Chain A
Amino acid sequence: MDILVQLIVSGIAVGGVYALIALGFVLIYKATSIINFATGEFMMIGAYFFYSFMVMADIPAIPAFLLVMCCAALLGFWVERAILRHMLGQPVISIIMVTIGLSSILMGMAEIVWSTDFKSFPPLFPRAPIVVGNIIIRSNLFWGFVIAMGAVSVFAVLFKYTKVGVAMRATANDQMAAFSMGINVRAMFTLAWALGAVAASLGGVIIGNMGGIQPTLGHIGLKIFPVVILGGLDSIAGAVIGGFIVGLVENIAGGYLDPYVGGGVKDLAPFVVLVFILMIKPYGLFGKEEIERL
């Protein structure tokens, strides 16, 4: 029983971080309907930026964190301007492939700049685990969860109440109407990419703090697909719920099944669940059914 509770708690904690990374995907998809396969690589680059600022440039954690956000925003901005803007109106497969190509570029660059060696951050939080009743949570995981949830809430509030947030939602809802209301739709696209990159890179810093960083860190980004499909592609609340479900599923399945098949269940389980959900609900759990007309 204790094991189950333990697995559930760490599942929720990891799920919170997945939710933040998935938010990076959803922000971009919502505004621009671009499926960003490079979300995982944005995450990885964010973690490396943090490493460079903290370890190489010796900047304290909090300013380093802010600098990472600025750099990630610049990266997202540049990517949208340089590449994705040319892809407006192209078929889905071309857009998917462009982001896959982008992820390959980012990964190769990271290997060239930071080498393939495994790196880890200096300890950011007190080492002592957090104990609640008889549940023990690793402090990295706990604080990671807190930061992720904080960031998700900030994004949600920004989206809901600020003028820019409303403009972004309007763009996502109906581009034509947004144009005619005087919203600068192109600027919104760029902003969505910048914010998406910021969210993903924050997730990357948290994940990197839990398990160290490597150029292949971006592969965790593949897990956001089960998350966003579960949660519906364009819903922030859905991303959070999907994040928790995936975190729980992979921890529980991994905890109970790994001894029987020799590991690896953790990475597989979300995809198996995904297949079953897609069989029953082809547009995901909370996704909007698309109705096509000729």
Chain B
Amino acid sequence: MRIGNFKETYAADEAVFTSPTSRFWVAVLFIALAAFPFFAGPYLLYMANHTGVAIIAAVGLNILTGSAGQISLGHAAFVGVGAYTAALLTTRLGLPFLICLPLSGLSAAFFGVIVGAPSMRMKGLYLCIATLAAQMIFEFIFIHWESLTGGIRGINVPAAEVFGFRLNTEFSFYFVTAPTVIIAVTAARNLFRTRVGRAFIAIRDRDISAEMMGINLFHYKLLAFGASSFYAGVAGCLNVYLLKIVTPEHFPLHESIRYLAMIIVGGLGSVLGAIYGAIFMTIIPEVLQSIMGLFQGLSPTIMSYLYPLQTVVFGLLIVIFLVFEPHGLAEMWRRLKNYFRLWPFEN
């Protein structure tokens, strides 16, 4: 049982994992992640890979929206930029996967900085609508610049090759997604222990005060856009190699909203929250589908309601979380942990 929260050195205070218990559970998690593909079937692996991609994108959006307070309705567009960059670099230049991965992140970050540039003068609703415009413009480019993007037919991409291994199954690709997710999450978690991350939080909490304390608003806002788009680009690149095709359908406005929903359901401004949210929002449609599958015997047409019902549940989740639990799953988890910390005694 852990009692109290005493720290005697700065190192202990700054540590990410503050107690032996949490270090133990993190080790268990790593072992479980490493063992997972050997026990899971192809469907679970498919879900795991997609969840991984969603986690990277959601963590990225949470840096921008949750921590730096700049709401973006164009995150899917940056995922798209990363995806198309990866597809073009592979098919036109024949670059290997491991080089495409950071390059697609960088290219998305480049466009993210361009889209973020107006944030110097706008904020709140106006910025939100500027990012909506960016989403629309990128979608248009993906569909209509056919010589580059292949239009609605998209671009087919060969399977990735890493150190001579062809990653053409869900099983093999898991060994790319899982480490990338771990690196991305670790980097994001550490970002908020640095000057940059704390500057983001200061900007979110009150931009004018932050500016007075010597934070260059424009510089840090651009940095937030760049970092968040970098994550989006990496997620896009993984997505392309996972699906082996990229089409404009993968990056509509709805997808941007889904990423926003992930960080809201998970918990704004918390890295863990983004992870919970991404997992939750990826699993919910599948759960819904299996629940409706149970009732299929009663009414054969029930499956035709699946898609609209998903839309309704999606909206309901956003509304319910915002009204009743604005800090999301991360906060619920924290409360649960606190409850059991001194269990069975009252806190």
Contacts and interface: CB of A to CB of B under 8 A. Distances in A.
Contacts of B129: 225, 229, 274, 278
A90 B322 contact: yes
A153 B4 CA distance: 66
Nearest to B323: A86
B281 to A, nearest CB: 12
B315 A92 contact: no
Contact of A264 (B69, B126, B132, B144): B144
Interface string B227-244: 000000000000000000
A105 B323 contact: no
Interface stretch (B35-43, B186-194, B257-265): B257-265
B293 interface: no
A120 to B, nearest CB: 21
A283 B125 CA distance: 10
Interface string A249-283: 00000000000011110011001101100110011
B177 interface: no
A116 B126 CA distance: 33
A96 interface: yes
A108 interface: yes
A279 B315 CA distance: 32
Contacts, number: 134
A278 B322 contact: no
Interface string B21-44: 000000000000000000000000
A105 B261 CA distance: 13
B164 interface: no
B156 interface: no
B276 to A, nearest CB: 17
A272 B319 CA distance: 31
Contacts of A35: 125, 128
A271 B125 contact: no
Nearest to A283: B126
Contact of A112 (B69, B253, B309): B309
Interface stretch (B85-93, B133-141, B338-346): B133-141
Interface in A80-134: 83, 86-87, 90, 92-94, 96-98, 100-112, 116
A294 B206 CA distance: 9
Contacts of B132: 222, 225, 271
Contacts of A94: 264, 322, 326
B318 A100 contact: yes
Given A96-B71, A96-B125, A268 B140 contact: yes
B3 interface: no
Contacts of A22: none
Interface string A229-263: 10001000000000000000000000000000111
B121 A101 contact: no
B130 interface: yes
Contacts of A104: 257, 311-312, 314-315, 318
Nearest to A100: B257
B137 A111 contact: no
A90 B326 contact: yes
A109 B319 CA distance: 15
Contacts of A267: 136, 140
A112 B132 CA distance: 28
A282 B126 contact: yes
A4 B312 CA distance: 43
Contacts of B144: 261-264
A292 B261 contact: no
B312 A233 contact: no
B311 A97 contact: no
Contacts of B314: 101, 104, 108
B283 interface: no
B168 interface: no
Contacts of A226: 133
A284 interface: yes
Contacts of B305: 112
A105 B315 contact: yes
Interface in B252-311: 253, 257, 260-261, 264, 268, 305, 307-311
A90 B257 CA distance: 19
A97 B257 CA distance: 8
11 contacts: A90-B326, A92-B71, A92-B125, A102-B319, A103-B315, A108-B311, A108-B313, A110-B308, A111-B307, A233-B125, A294-B208
Interface of B: 65, 69, 71, 118, 121-122, 124-126, 128-130, 132-134, 136-137, 140, 143-144, 146, 206, 208-209, 253, 257, 260-261, 264, 268, 305, 307-319, 322-323, 326
Pairs A-B, 4 closest by C-beta atoms: A104-B315, A101-B318, A108-B311, A108-B312
Given A215-B308, A262-B146, A275-B133, 11 more contacts: A93-B69, A94-B322, A94-B326, A101-B322, A108-B312, A111-B307, A111-B311, A268-B136, A268-B137, A271-B132, A274-B129
